[in-house]
A and B are shown apart, each in its own frame.
Chain A
Amino acid sequence: QLQLKESGPGLVKPSETLTLTCTVSGGSVTSGTYYWGWVRQPPGKGLEWIGSTYYTGNAQYNPSHKSRVTLSVDTSTNEFSLRLSSVTAADTAVYYCARHPFTILTGYYLDSWGQGILVTVSS
């Protein structure tokens, strides 16, 4: 059974770069029909898609964050990562990693989610 788990710092200072990693078990990040994505949820608020990436490096980003976000995949460790630069308090949220079916045949949705990790931006 596919499992995803986020890891990274729970506290980041303003203006710094947030880096999170998602470890995938029970499946491979090189699976052909899936992208691997990130979604965040500020406390008490709704979901926001950040971006999704294919294992080859082809990535799609939310236009609202495109200038600050970098997604990458490490096939040797079966992990994918999120880098968000120049963070502010508005980036405080629970960050989820998820598998993202991404073809006309599979549809476009997020079918398996990690448990989430709370990241607080504060000095």
Chain B
Amino acid sequence: QSALTQPASVSGSPGQSITISCAGTSSDIGTYDYVSWYQQHPGKAPKVIIYDVSKRPSGVSDRFSGSKSGDTASLTISGLQAEDEADYYCGSYATGSPAVFGGGTHLTVL
């Protein structure tokens, strides 16, 4: 069982926006502003797309944005494109463990 809770799947049509939630606790997301999001295409290594809740690494599209409210973080992808179809994982710093992950969410672009 993962430390952070994500929906197993989400879907959207090209051009639409979707949001993936990541529920934590006061021991992780609720206390620390160190939430990260990773995109993983089949057979590939994960790639960080958001860190420190809402910062984007150089080269990551501004269609990806992150936020946090209380114990829950969110990843929003706007202007969905076919290439966005992938698995998405949230991560967080946590008390007693510098890195915990969610179980992952599969995004289907219809």
- Inter-subunit contact A96/B34 (CB<8 Å): no
Q: Is B99 an interface residue (CB 8 A)?
A: yes
Known: A107-B51, A111-B57. A100 touches B45 (CB 8 A): no
- Give B81 Cβ to nearest chain A Cβ, in Å: 22
**Number of chain A residues whose Cβ lies closer than 8 Å to a Cβ of chain B:** 24
Which of A52, A96, A113, A115 has a CB less than 8 Å from the CB of B99? A52
Q: Which residues of A contact B45 (CB under 8 A)?
A: 96, 113-116
| Overall SS of chain A's interface | strand
Contacts of A65-123 to chain B: CB distance below 8 A: 96, 100-102, 107-111, 113-116
Which residues does B use to contact A, with CB under 8 Å? 2, 32, 34, 36, 38, 45-48, 51-52, 55, 57, 89, 91, 93, 96-104
